Amino acid sequence: MAAKKTIWKKGRGKLGVLSPLLGTYVAVSESPVGAVKCTRTFTEILAGKYIELKAIWEIGAAKFEEMAIFGAFEGELSFWSFTSDGKKSSGKISEAADVHPEAICFEATMPAGIARMIYWPSENGAFCWAVESKVKNGWNRFVMHTYHKSLTASHG
């Protein structure tokens, strides 16, 4: 049986796994509180030693922001995230082959337990993103979006 063709072309080094995410992407979805728009921008910073994520969530008239930095720490790809509601989290790269063979996954220990965020390729250059919490039988997904390349570089 032939090997399955990969969708994402990864770059070199520890940060290379994030290469397919570089750029600005937008997701629009419905939620229990109404329409949600989220714009995610991934940019290389500090001479390519780190990748910055700026995420802006628009839920009705409310706006919620996140800034995360991805980089190598003690030999592992890690992230540090800060949000406009004053929360912060950090975690390390992990596996999510149960979601998709090319999934990029990070796990973090949160006040409520272990959580993971996962990115994986979708159709036509889009990608999926989900957040799950660890439960006795595996993982419980509580949010999932499909992101498409933004036609504009700004994020409203």
| Domain ranges within the chain, ordered by starting residue | 14-149
Fold held by 14-149: Lipocalin (2.40.128)
At 85, list the tokens. Answer: 């509601």
Predicted model pTM: 0.89
8-17 pLDDT tens trace: 888 888 899 9
Among the residues of 82-127, which ranges form H helices? none
More confident residue, 111 or 46: 46
Q: How confident is the model at residue 1 (pLDDT cuts 50, 70, 90)?
A: very low
pLDDT of residue 10: 86
pLDDT at 122: 92
What is the tens place of the pLDDT at every residue in 141-155?
989 999 999 877 544
Average pLDDT over residues 117-142: 93
CB count within 10 Å of CB 1 equals 3
Closest to 97 in 3D by CA, of 124, 122, 118, 70: 118
Token pair for 47: 């001479």
* pLDDT at position 156 over 60: no
What is the reported pLDDT for 155?
A: 44
